[in-house]
């Protein structure tokens, strides 16, 4: 199959930005073989030098924050403030894992007749498959620990958003990361993505994307017992108890779901409000939603840009057009060119409604009341997804009880912060498999080898 080119669209205007070559299966094989050849050298680079190279790469990204942020504003419609944070996050994650090669300690385990030690060995070639919603951070979360652990990496960015990944790949090379150690290969999921999963020299796939593609990928990886990390969809609950600071809970709820136009796996897209404060909460929420500034993502004051594509906007709109859905109130959005959709608050009739159960992945939030703590936990857990969630209460005992009871990987109390490069991130149930970030991510990119040395013959 010959390679083809793909017109990358600016979602703010709907106009083509640039054509990007898409790799075919033969080019994917060449990239994997080059990554395999680079392994022997990269795994032998001394820990201190590997750390130095990663710090150089981190600095190169740090110096290019403005350039990368501008690219993401035009390719993905992210607000300039978010895009700067996202580029900075890549630099931070690289810095964090640059310290890891010199700290990849094994263990010495007491045994009879000798010395027993463990080593963390690289897996080999790692394929990192990235979605379109956070092209930069998710690139970094896979690539940084994989390289630190001595693996070589082939990254497949999403079809819609390859531009920052391609540029970060060039920065790696300019910073001295050797050829073949990190390759960025734009292409289709069904071509490049599939081939990374089936290629026998790729020992691990680090995938972030939809639960539908992730489950299929897991099955495709099974015959080779290929290691897989999956970061999949979310339908996270924002649980608001009557004893919370209701003003703060309402003021922060729009940001928790409309950030990145709701195209966020951690979006708190289900708001559960204790019945005794339900009406008051909606009264406070309405002006907070009206205040969300939707418009030119390059402008400093903008809170929310466009959706990624016309097709995605149709999909999001389909949830609101559903007969079962009552729109409580909406914010505003520009007319005309670009894939705009206003922040929208809906009141489902029941917890069985599609908009309450499925990941909309757009600026739509559904609100339902609950009576007591037990019902709040049961409603939050009544989902096959379990990525994030927030709990608003001023009772510390309740905060901890509910945080322990909600089946999700990342919970925040009186806050919506889910992601820090130094803490683990990942999902329960069908939201994923494995954890990224934090002190343990290296283990997901290493084999533990046990070696016994006899001291007695």
Summarize as ranges the residues that interact with ligand NAD (CB under 6 A): 129-134, 138, 156, 158-159, 189-190, 193-194, 197, 208-210, 213, 216-217, 231-234, 265, 359, 361, 387, 427, 431-432
For ligand NAD, the closer of residues 138 and 168 by Cβ is 138
Nearer to ligand NAD by C-beta: 26 or 111? 26
Cα separation, 375 vs 306, whole angstroms: 36
Work out how close the CB of 136 gets to ligand NAD at its nearest, in angstroms, rounded to a whole number: 12
- CB of residue 406 to ligand NAD, shortest distance in Å: 16
Taking the least distance from each CB to ligand NAD, the nearer of 66 and 314 is 314
Cα 240–chain centre separation: 25
- With tokens 């559904």, the residue in question is 366
Q: How far is the CB of 343 from ligand NAD (least distance, A)?
A: 18
Q: Please name the residue ranges forming H helices in 211-357.
A: 211-221, 246-258, 278-290, 310-321, 354-357
Measured from the CB atom, the residue of 242 and 419 that comes closer to ligand NAD is: 419
Output the CA torsion sign for 81, 83, 89, 91: negative
**Candidates 72, 86, 159, 265; catalytic one:** 265
Q: Which helix (H) or strand (E) holds 19?
A: strand 15-22
CA end-to-end span of the chain: 60
Min dist CB 6 to ligand NAD, Å, is 11
Q: Which is nearer to ligand NAD, 112 or 225 (CB)?
A: 225
Q: Is 266 a catalytic residue?
A: no
| Nearer to ligand NAD (CB atom), residue 194 or residue 303 | 194
Of 25 and 242, CB closest to ligand NAD:
25
**Rounded Cα distance, 311 and 308, in Å:** 9
Choosing from 72, 231, 359, 436, which is the catalytic residue? 231
Q: How far apart are CA 32 and CA 153, in angstroms?
A: 8
Q: Which residues pair with 94 in a beta bridge?
A: none
Radius of gyration (C-alpha) of the chain in whole angstroms:
23
Is 121 a catalytic site residue?
no
Could you tell me how many residues make up the chain? 457
Question: Residue 208's closest CA among 153, 303, 146, 142?
Answer: 142
Helix (H, G, I), strand (E, B) or coil at 434: coil
Element (H, E) at 432: strand 432-433
360 in Cβ contact with 262 (< 8 Å): yes
Q: How far is the CB of 218 from ligand NAD (least distance, A)?
A: 11
- By C-beta, is 197 or 282 nearer to ligand NAD? 197
What percentage of the chain's residues is helix, strand, coil (to nearest 5)? 40, 25, 35
Residue nearer to ligand NAD on the CB measure, 129 or 376: 129
State the nearest-atom distance from the C-beta of 263 to ligand NAD, in Å. Answer: 7
- Which alpha helices (DSSP H) does 149-245 contain, by range? 163-174, 194-198, 211-221
Smallest gap, in angstroms, from Cβ of residue 167 to ligand NAD? 17
Q: Measured between alpha carbons, how far is 312 from 74 in angstroms, rounded to an integer?
A: 17
The DSSP bridge partners found for residue 429 are: 385
Q: DSSP secondary-structure letter at 178? A: P
Neighbours of 437 (CB within 10 A): 22
Place of tokens 């510390």: 396
Smallest gap, in angstroms, from Cβ of residue 18 to ligand NAD?
18
Cα separation, 422 vs 247, in Å, equals 30
Cα dist from 329 to 94, 157, 291, whole Å: 42, 36, 12
Contact criterion met (CB below 8 Å) for 381 and 407:
yes
**Beta carbon of residue 362, minimum distance to ligand NAD (angstroms, whole number):** 11
Residues known to be catalytic: 231, 265
């Amino acid at each position: 199959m010959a390679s083809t080119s793909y017109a990358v669209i600016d979602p703010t205007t709907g106009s083509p930005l640039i054509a990007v070559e898409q790799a075919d299966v033969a080019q994917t094989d060449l990239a994997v073989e080059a990554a395999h050849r680079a392994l022997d050298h990269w795994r032998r680079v001394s820990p201190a030098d590997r750390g130095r190279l990663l710090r150089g790469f981190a600095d190169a990204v740090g110096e290019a924050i403005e350039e990368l942020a501008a690219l993401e504003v035009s390719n993905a419609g992210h607000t300039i403030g978010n895009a700067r944070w996202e580029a900075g996050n890549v630099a931070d994650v690289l810095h964090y894992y640059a310290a890891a090669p010199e700290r990849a300690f094994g263990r010495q385990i007491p045994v009879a007749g000798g010395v027993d030690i463990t080593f963390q060995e690289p897996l080999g070639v790692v394929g990192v498959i990235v979605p379109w919603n956070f092209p930069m951070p998710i690139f970094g979360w896979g690539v940084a620990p994989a390289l630190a652990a001595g693996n070589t990496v082939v990254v497949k960015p999403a079809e819609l958003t390859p531009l920052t990944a391609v540029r970060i790949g060039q920065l790696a090379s300019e910073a001295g990361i050797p050829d073949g150690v990190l390759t960025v290969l734009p292409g289709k999921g069904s071509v490049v993505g599939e081939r990374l999963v089936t290629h026998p020299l790729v020992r691990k796939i680090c995938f972030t994307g939809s639960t539908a593609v992730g489950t299929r990928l897991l099955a495709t990886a099974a015959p080779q017992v290929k290691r897989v990390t999956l970061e999949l969809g979310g339908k996270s609950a924002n649980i608001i108890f009557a004893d919370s600071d209701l003003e703060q809970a309402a003021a922060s709820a729009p940001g928790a779901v409309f950030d990145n136009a709701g195209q966020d796996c951690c979006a708190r897209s289900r708001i559960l409000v204790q019945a005794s404060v339900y009406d008051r909460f909606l009264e406070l929420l309405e002006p907070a939603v009206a205040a969300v500034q939707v418009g030119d993502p390059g402008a400093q004051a903008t809170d929310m840009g466009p959706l990624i594509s016309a097709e995605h906007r149709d999909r999001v709109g389909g949830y609101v057009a559903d007969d079962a859905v009552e729109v409580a109130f909406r914010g505003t959005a520009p007319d005309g060119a670009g894939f705009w959709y206003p922040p929208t608050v809906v009141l489902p009739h029941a917890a069985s409604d599609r908009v309450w159960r499925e990941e909309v992945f757009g600026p739509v939030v559904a609100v339902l009341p609950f009576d007591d703590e037990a019902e709040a936990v049961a409603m939050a857990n009544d989902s096959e997804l379990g990525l994030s969630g927030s709990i608003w209460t001023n009772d510390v005992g309740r905060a901890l009880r509910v945080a322990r009871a909600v089946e999700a990987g990342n919970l925040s109390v009186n806050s919506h912060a889910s992601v820090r490069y130094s803490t683990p991130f990942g999902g329960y149930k069908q939201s994923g498999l494995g954890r990224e970030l934090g002190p343990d991510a290296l283990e997901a990119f290493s084999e533990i080898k046990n070696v016994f040395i006899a001291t007695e013959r």
